[in-house]
Every structure is written in C-alpha cells, then in structure tokens.
C-alpha cells in the first residue's frame, strides 16, 4: 500500500500466508525495505531492517514494536546518523485458515434437501416428450440430476435421510396446489433414505399428482431456511444446508425468491439450481450472483453468493461426474466462507 503526502503513514492491516512470508518458520529472518514512492517508478530507497514473525508477534496494541529503518550508505557516511525513520508494528498475530475438509472432518454435516418442479410446463409424465417421462432405461433429466448431486452429497451426511419436496402440483384428495409438499406424502416425515429413497418416492408420486403451476421457488427456499436458521442459533459449525432445486424454467415469484435468497445468504445454506429441458434460464443466471451482488426488491444486498445455477443441457452427453463437478464447484468455499464470517472454527479442531 502506498500512502501519499505524509511523513507519518499509517498502513492498513494486511494478511499474508505464513508459508510465503517465512516458509512457516517464525524464527526465520525477514528483510523489510521501505521506499518513497515516485509515480514514474523511480522509487527512492529510504531504509530497511530485519525482523522475524516471532518478534513481530510480540507487538500488542498497548505495547507496539518499534523497528529502526536504516540506510546503510547514510550510516557509513555520518557518525551522527541514527536512522531514516521508525516503523512501528502495532499488532501482528497468526490466525489459522480452515478448509472445507477441516469442517467436514471436524464433524460438520451437510443437510441435503431436494426440491422438484411438478409444474404443467414439464408435460404429462406419461408422454415420452415430457421431462418427467421415465424412459425404458428408468431415467430422465430430473433423475439424472438427483443421482449426480445426491450420490456425492450423501457421503457428507451420516444418517443419509433427505427431505424431498415437490412444488407446483395439485395434490389428492382435494387437488389444492402446493409449493412445498413431501413427495412421499408424509408431511410430518418427508425424509427419504439415501438417493435411492428419493428416486423411489419420486417415481411413486408421479401417477398420483396433477401437474399445475405457477413455478414458485420461495416457499421451498424459506422452508429450508427455517431449519438453517435453527442451526445458526447453535453457534457451532455443526450443520450446513444444501437445497437442490431441479426445474424446467421460468420462476413465477421472482421478487419473493430474491428476497428469500438474500435472507438465506446470512444462514448456513447454499442453493443449487439445475435447469432441465430447453427453456430460457435467464432468471436463474440472475440469482447466481457470480457477476454481481444479488439484491432484494428493497435494495438489501446478499451477504454472500449462495446460488449455483447449472443448465443440464450442457451436460447431456457428458459423464455424470462432470455434471456433479460443475454443480458442486462453489460449495466448499461457500461452506468455509459462512463459518469464517461467523468466526466459527471446526468443532473438533486442533488449536493453531
């Protein structure tokens, strides 16, 4: 950092990996060189000193460390020369950065929920042109997405019991439209055992529901957010929630969904959207805040990017591992980012 127009600069705190600074050896000598900045690049040497991380870590707010900046040429010339200025280290501390695996090995569970789009735009599941039609091989794009993501995520959850919810369908016996129903038709226990359980419940529910609409995402996002909010109360890195939404297209409740995602960005939660079929997925790209910060209608900003959108059509002819890789690409850093922001180390972590 360059600080102009002052002889008493105060530099902002900065971080540097210990490995690049001193090969992880806190006793190793480090040379610090100070220059006077010139815009043409001809910076003037002021002075230098040597110190170590161990020495700098002695600096405390109440007791800063003072290091003399010496210019060897001036030192040789003048007997009365003391220094060319003093660098004051106000504070220096070593903090440990935890990885995704540190959290997983520390006992953090990934809580996986699937949300499945049963709106009429998918087509009649008995018709071979429908996205929900199960072909003679026993699969369709919805099932492929569930398998690709679920098979990896299930290894990070010890009980392997996953809630599977549907939206946009009319349900028996009164044929009311629901935007968050248990696909096993057991609202008090929507859990399926493993990915196989989700697949069985999905196949079994298809003949008993009527595809309808609209395509509302916010009820399912808020459903998972309620559980994530409970986990956030524990103030420990115990649970992180992942919602996989598989959909064929345009979101009907975009404003409510934006609001729900912005609120969820403050919780231990990530949302993965897999778009099936050939619809226009512009709204999904908008929710995936890779290029800009997502805002709610009221202007509230998402605290972090928690949505990853992947169009299934890009992976139709690729091995299922490539789909899983693309879908889960951002998840590890999202988990780490949340717990770091909350200042929560892994539950069973060794002290730094």
Q: Going from the N-terminus, what domains does the chain have, and what CATH number goes with each? A: 18-89 (no CATH), 100-342 (3.40.50.410)
**Helix and strand tally (H, E) in the chain?**
11, 14
- As a whole-number percent, the residues of the chain with pLDDT over 70 amount to 99
How high is the pLDDT of residue 249?
81
How high is the pLDDT of residue 330?
92
Q: What is the separation of C-alpha 275 from the centre of its chain, rounded to a whole number of angstroms? A: 19
Q: Is 210 helix (H, G, I), strand (E, B) or coil?
A: strand
Directed axis angle between helix 320-328 and helix 141-153, to 10°? 60
The Cα–Cα gap between 100 and 238 comes to 13
Q: Which pair of structure tokens corresponds to residue 234?
A: 């524990």
The Cα–Cα gap between 62 and 66 comes to 13
Q: Say which residues have a Cβ less than 8 Å from residue 46's Cβ, sequence separation at least 6.
A: 34, 35, 36, 69, 71, 84, 85
pLDDT tens for 134-165 read 999 999 999 999 998 898 888 888 899 999 99
The Cα–Cα gap between 171 and 325 comes to 35
Q: Which pair of structure tokens corresponds to residue 260?
A: 């729900």
pLDDT over 60 at 351, yes or no: no
Q: Which pair of structure tokens corresponds to residue 54?
A: 């161990």
Q: Which pair of structure tokens corresponds to residue 74?
A: 């001036």
Place of tokens 């403050």: 266
* pTM, to two decimals: 0.80
How high is the pLDDT of residue 350?
65
pLDDT over 70 at 180, yes or no: yes
| Phi, psi torsion values for 75, nearest 5 degrees | -65, -40
How high is the pLDDT of residue 133?
97
The Cα–Cα gap between 112 and 269 comes to 10
- As a whole-number percent, the residues of the chain with pLDDT over 90 amount to 80
Mean of the per-residue pLDDT values of the chain? 93
pLDDT over 70 at 352, yes or no: no
pLDDT tens for 9-43 read 999 999 999 999 999 999 999 999 999 999 898 99
pLDDT over 90 at 170, yes or no: yes
Directed axis angle between helix 194-205 and helix 141-153, to 10°? 160
**For residues 290 and 250, is the Cβ–Cβ distance under 8 A?**
no
Within 10 A of 96 (CB to CB), how many other CB atoms are there? 11
Q: Which pair of structure tokens corresponds to residue 299?
A: 């202007």
Question: Residue 60: which pLDDT band, with cuts at 50, 70 and 90?
Answer: confident
Q: DSSP letters along 18-54, please?
A: HHHHHTT-TTS-EEEEEEE--TTS-PEEEEEEEE-HH
Nearest residue to 140 via CA among 164, 169, 116, 167: 116
pLDDT tens for 255-310 read 999 999 999 999 999 999 999 999 888 878 888 867 778 888 888 999 999 999 99
Q: What is the separation of C-alpha 238 from the centre of its chain, rounded to a whole number of angstroms? A: 16
How high is the pLDDT of residue 298?
87
**For residues 173 and 185, is the Cβ–Cβ distance under 8 A?**
no
The Cα–Cα gap between 109 and 130 comes to 35
Q: DSSP letters along 133-177, please?
A: ---TTS--HHHHHHHHHHHHHGGG-SS-EEEEEEESEEETTTTEE
């Amino acid at each position: 950092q360059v600080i102009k127009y002052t002889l008493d600069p105060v530099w902002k705190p900065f971080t540097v990996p210990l490995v690049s600074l001193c090969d992880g050896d806190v006793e190793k000598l480090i040379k610090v060189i100070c220059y006077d900045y010139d815009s043409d690049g001809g910076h003037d040497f002021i002075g230098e000193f040597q110190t170590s991380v161990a020495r700098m870590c002695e600096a405390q707010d109440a007791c800063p460390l003072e290091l003399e900046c010496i210019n060897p040429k001036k030192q040789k010339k003048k007997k009365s020369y003391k220094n060319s200025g003093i660098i004051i280290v106000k504070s220096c501390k070593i903090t440990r950065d935890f990885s995704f695996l540190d959290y997983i090995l520390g006992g953090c569970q990934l809580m996986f929920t699937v949300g499945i789009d049963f709106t009429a735009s998918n087509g009649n599941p008995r018709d071979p042109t429908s996205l929900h039609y199960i072909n003679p091989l026993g699969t369709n794009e919805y099932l492929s997405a569930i398998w690709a993501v679920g098979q990896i995520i299930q290894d990070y959850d010890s009980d392997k019991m996953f809630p599977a919810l549907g939206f946009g369908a009319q349900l028996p016996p009164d044929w009311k439209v629901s935007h968050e129903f248990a696909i096993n038709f057991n609202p008090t226990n929507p859990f399926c055992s493993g990915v196989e359980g989700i697949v069985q419940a999905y196949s079994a529910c298809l003949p008993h529901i009527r595809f309808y609409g609209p395509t509302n995402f916010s009820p399912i996002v808020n459903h998972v957010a309620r559980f994530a909010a409970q986990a956030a109360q524990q103030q420990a890195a115990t649970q992180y929630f992942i919602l996989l939404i598989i959909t064929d297209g345009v979101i009907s409740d975009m404003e409510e969904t934006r609001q729900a995602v912005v609120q969820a960005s403050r919780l231990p939660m990530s949302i993965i959207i897999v778009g099936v079929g050939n619809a226009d997925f512009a709204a999904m790209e908008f929710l995936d805040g890779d290029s800009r910060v997502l805002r709610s209608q009221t202007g509230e900003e998402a605290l972090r990017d928690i949505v990853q959108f992947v169009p299934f059509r890009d992976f139709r002819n690729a091995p299922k591992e490539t789909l899983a890789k693309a879908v889960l690409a951002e998840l590890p850093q999202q988990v780490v980012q949340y717990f770091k922001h909350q200042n929560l180390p892994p539950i069973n972590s060794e002290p730094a």
